[in-house]
Each structure stands twice: as structure tokens, then as C-alpha cells.
């Protein structure tokens, strides 16, 4: 992937509307959250400015390869007769040879510019993952709140039925008390669910550089997403596209360029200077006479107490370090892909199990309600079935969220954040 492709993608994203529902600015989809974060996140903006800084440094280093032009004027007064002599000169100097130092300094600045773009790309991928996780957590909190509210409604109905059966002489007063206690505990769960939703909203708002308490209504649901990617494809994509690996390779190239710069002190520096000057006794240079000179200067350091040798040895050691860093980064990337893949498989397997359990829990609750209404079951049986149903539904919601987060983490591990969205 060319280094500028990321900037092009981001530029296109900025042209997209921040909210696809213009009539309600509090309504957001996943894509509009991503667009808003890319456009306004302060950390990402800081890294964009950093790329501009290093691009300017690259151009500055290139300018050092070009000839330098200088203009000077001098006035000199004689202490013998008080006369004043004026001199105006212009010179052009060009470094012809410096052991490739200037050229390598330019190459080094180019590599740092590339590194800044890759750093930006890495921050971009991190932000995409953070937004996706915050989005999934928000939808999860919303669905858990809905389930907690439904559980309270079921408990309220059960309390009403229990009181009615007690009045009819079918229940003990302890059944009513137990149902009311469970209902009161459910209120605590409801408060916790509401608080979780507010915290999730604040986190997503923060990523979009909005006020934490700003209104945000997510338009979306947790939905299963198939993975159209094999493990081998995931590994190959990660090795090709992960910014960290490309950064490690550039660091290795920087070490090689630094070695060339260090060796440049073994060679002479040759500078050519052409000067044209005019001299006269008046400021206007009337009746002036001119002189042109071409000067070729060679400077060769022949002894520096082995300072250059030590610098070269240090540069070679740095190259060996960068080689090890490249290997370490590759191992880390492969491990991240493996962990994300295994987490995804585990989450998918857990969802399959929980879906079967949820169907059975719903049937169990329905049967216990019927038995209780027909005076064949106890109030405790209904409460147990209700608790089992609520926990199973909540676990299913959380497991689906875990799967989607694992899918987003796999996308991040192989740098496929835009091409494979976990939420529709």
C-alpha cells in the first residue's frame, strides 16, 4: 500500500457527511461515528500536523543539496586619508562531494517523513478499532438495558399474580415477599444498566471530540457478521499491511543510511565557489572595477582519534538492533493475529451454545408460567425460570458483542478496518 493511499482514503472520508440523518444530529450510525472521529479526534489531528512537519524537513534537506547564493556589501574607511572604499560581491557555492552525506541526509529525512505517515496510519487504525469497540459497547449497553427493562416488567407481572393468588389463598405471604424482594433487586440492576449506557455514550462521544453528555442515539443493532477470511489469508495480509512492520523496515533503512553518513568523514569534502565582485570609492559604484574568482576547496580530515571509527561501529550496532526489532515486530504481529483468530473462534462457538440455551430458557419460562397460572407450579419456580431467562439473554447479548469486538480486533490485526465492518 503506497504511503499516500492512507491520506487519500482519509481525505475521501472527510467528504462524507458526519451524520446521514441531517434532521436529527443526535442520531449516529457506525459510519457517521467513524467519519466524525476521523475529522475531529485531537490525537489524530496532532499526528496529521506531525506529517506536515516532517514533510517540510524533507524539503529542507533537499534544499541543502542545491547551490547556495549569497550577496554581500562592505564599506571600508582608510585611517590614512579618510577615504572610503565600497565593495559589492555575489557568490555561488556548491558542495560537489561530501562522502554522500548530504544525499543520505536527504534520504534520511524522506524516511522520517514516511515514518510520520505510517505513524498516522497506525493511529488511524487504532482510532477505528476504538470507535468500533465503543460502538459495540454502546449497542450492547442499550440491548442489556432493554432486556433488564423487560425483566422488570415480567417481575412486576409476577408480583401482581402472586398477590392475587395470595388473596385467593393459593400462595403463602412469603411468596409475595420473595417476589417483591426480587423486584427491588431488579431495580438496582436497571439503574446499573442505565449507568452503563451513559458511560458507553460518553466514551463514544469523547472519541468524536464531543461533550461527554451530548445526546447520542445509535442507529444500529448487534448483528452477526460472517468472516470471509481464512487464517492463512489473515496472516499474509498482516505481514503485508501492518504499519508496525513497515515502520520497522524503515528503521532498518535509516540505520543503513546513518552508516553511510558516519562513513562520510573518511572522505574529503569538496566545495566549488564562484564569486563576482565590484569595488569603487563611491556607494553607487561609479568607476568601479570588477573581479571574478572560482575557488575549489578540498578538506580532508586525516585524524580524529578514531572518533569516526567509533561512530561507524555504533551505526553498525544500530543496524543489528533494527534487524532484531524487525524480527520481534513480526513475531508480535503474528501473535496478535493468532490471538484475535482464536478469540473469534471461541466467541463464535459460545454464541452457538447460548442460542440453544436461550431457546430452552424461553420455553422453560413459558412452561413455568403456565404451570403457575394453573396452580400446578410454585412462585419460586417462576422466579428461577425468570432469572435463568434473563441471565441467558444477557449472556447471549454479551457473547455477540464479544464476537463482534474480536472481529474488529482481527480487522485491526490485519489492517482491514475499512474493508470489513463488523456492524451493519
Confidence band of 330 (pLDDT split at 50, 70, 90): very high
For the cut 60, the answer to whether the pLDDT of residue 420 exceeds it is: no
> What is the pLDDT, as a whole number, of residue 327?
94
For the cut 90, the answer to whether the pLDDT of residue 130 exceeds it is: yes
39-48, 163-172, 322-331, 344-353, range with the lowest pLDDT:
163-172
Q: Which set of grid coordinates corresponds to residue 252? A: 532498518
- The CA–CA distances, whole Å, from 77 to 80, 81, 84, 87, 90 equal 9, 9, 4, 12, 21
Measured in degrees and rounded to the nearest 5, phi and psi for residue 225 equal: -130, 125
Q: Establish if 241 belongs to a structural domain.
A: yes
Q: Establish if 237 belongs to a structural domain.
A: yes
Distance CA 359, CA 366 (A): 11
For the cut 80, the answer to whether the pLDDT of residue 389 exceeds it is: yes
- The CA–CA distances, whole Å, from 257 to 105, 134, 277, 309 equal 8, 42, 40, 16
Contact 417, 125 (CB under 8 A): yes
Confidence band of 269 (pLDDT split at 50, 70, 90): confident
> What is the pLDDT, as a whole number, of residue 99?
65
Domain of residue 151, CATH code: 1.20.1600.10
pLDDT tens profile 390-400? 999 999 999 99
Closest CA to 408 of 355, 334, 336: 336
DSSP 178-205: HHHHHHHHHHHHHHHHHHHHHHHHHHHH
Q: Establish if 130 belongs to a structural domain.
A: yes
Q: Establish if 297 belongs to a structural domain.
A: no
Distance between first and last Cα of the chain: 26
More confident residue, 265 or 366: 366
Distance CA 242, CA 234 (A): 11
Residue range of the domain that includes 363: 3-67+100-266+306-413
**Residue 174 contacts by C-beta under 8 Å, 6 or more apart in sequence?**
none
Q: Establish if 131 belongs to a structural domain.
A: yes
For the cut 50, the answer to whether the pLDDT of residue 165 exceeds it is: yes
The DSSP bridge pattern shows strands 84-97 and 27-28 to be unpaired
pLDDT tens profile 346-364? 999 999 898 889 899 999 9
Confidence band of 417 (pLDDT split at 50, 70, 90): low
pLDDT tens profile 208-220? 999 999 999 999 8
Confidence band of 284 (pLDDT split at 50, 70, 90): low
Distance CA 302, CA 285 (A): 44
Q: Establish if 123 belongs to a structural domain.
A: yes
pLDDT tens profile 94-104? 887 776 777 88
Q: Establish if 321 belongs to a structural domain.
A: yes
Confidence band of 286 (pLDDT split at 50, 70, 90): low
Q: Indicate the average pLDDT of the chain.
A: 84
Q: Which helix (H) or strand (E) holds 173?
A: helix 173-207
Domain count along the chain: 1
Q: Establish if 46 belongs to a structural domain.
A: yes
> What is the pLDDT, as a whole number, of residue 97?
74
Amino acid at each position: 500500500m503506497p504511503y499516500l493511499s492512507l491520506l487519500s482514503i482519509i481525505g475521501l472520508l472527510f467528504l462524507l457527511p458526519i451524520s446521514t440523518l441531517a434532521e436529527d444530529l443526535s442520531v449516529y450510525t457506525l459510519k457517521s461515528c467513524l467519519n466524525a472521529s476521523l475529522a475531529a479526534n485531537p490525537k489524530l489531528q496532532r499526528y496529521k500536523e506531525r506529517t506536515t512537519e516532517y514533510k517540510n524537513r524533507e524539503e529542507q534537506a533537499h534544499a541543502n543539496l542545491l547551490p547556495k547564493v549569497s550577496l554581500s556589501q562592505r564599506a571600508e574607511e582608510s585611517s590614512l586619508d579618510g577615504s572610503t572604499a565600497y565593495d559589492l560581491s555575489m557568490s555561488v557555492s556548491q558542495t560537489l562531494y561530501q562522502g554522500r552525506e548530504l544525499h543520505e541526509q536527504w534520504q534520511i529525512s524522506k524516511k522520517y517523513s514516511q515514518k510520520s505517515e505510517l505513524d498516522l496510519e497506525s493511529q488511524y487504525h487504532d482510532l477505528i478499532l476504538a470507535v468500533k469497540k465503543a460502538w459495540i459497547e454502546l449497542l450492547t449497553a442499550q440491548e442489556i438495558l432493554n432486556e433488564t427493562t423487560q425483566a422488570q416488567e415480567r417481575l412486576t407481572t409476577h408480583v401482581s399474580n402472586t398477590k392475587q393468588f395470595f388473596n385467593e389463598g393459593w400462595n403463602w405471604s412469603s411468596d409475595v415477599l420473595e417476589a417483591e424482594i426480587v423486584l427491588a433487586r431488579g431495580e438496582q440492576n436497571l439503574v446499573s444498566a442505565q449507568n452503563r449506557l451513559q458511560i458507553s455514550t460518553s466514551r463514544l462521544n469523547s472519541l468524536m471530540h464531543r461533550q461527554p453528555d451530548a445526546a447520542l442515539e445509535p442507529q444500529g443493532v448487534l448483528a452477526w457478521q460472517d468472516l470471509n477470511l481464512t487464517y492463512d489469508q489473515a496472516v499474509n495480509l498482516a505481514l503485508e499491511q501492518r504499519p508496525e512492520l513497515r515502520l520497522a523496515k524503515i528503521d532498518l533503512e535509516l540505520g543503513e543510511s546513518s552508516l553511510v553518513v558516519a562513513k562520510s568523514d573518511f572522505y574529503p569534502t569538496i566545495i566549488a565557489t564562484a564569486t563576482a565582485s565590484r569595488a569603487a570609492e563611491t556607494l553607487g559604484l561609479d568607476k568601479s572595477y570588477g573581479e571574478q574568482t572560482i575557488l575549489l576547496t578540498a578538506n580532508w580530515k586525516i585524524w580524529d582519534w578514531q572518533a569516526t571509527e567509533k561512530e561507524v561501529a555504533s551505526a553498525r550496532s544500530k543496524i543489528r538492533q533494527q534487524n532484531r526489532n524487525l524480527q520481534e515486530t513480526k513475531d508480535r504481529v503474528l501473535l496478535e493475529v493468532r490471538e484475535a483468530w482464536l478469540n473469534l473462534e471461541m466467541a463464535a462457538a459460545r454464541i452457538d451454545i447460548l442460542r440453544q440455551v436461550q431457546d430452552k430458557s424461553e420455553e422453560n419460562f413459558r412452561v413455568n408460567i403456565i404451570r403457575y397460572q394453573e396452580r400446578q407450579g410454585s412462585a419460586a419456580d417462576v422466579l428461577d425460570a425468570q432469572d435463568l431467562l434473563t441471565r441467558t439473554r444477557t449472556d447471549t447479548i454479551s457473547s455477540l458483542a464479544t464476537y463482534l469486538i474480536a472481529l474488529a480486533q482481527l480487522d485491526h490485526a490485519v489492517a482491514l478496518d475499512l474493508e470489513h465492518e463488523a456492524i451493519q
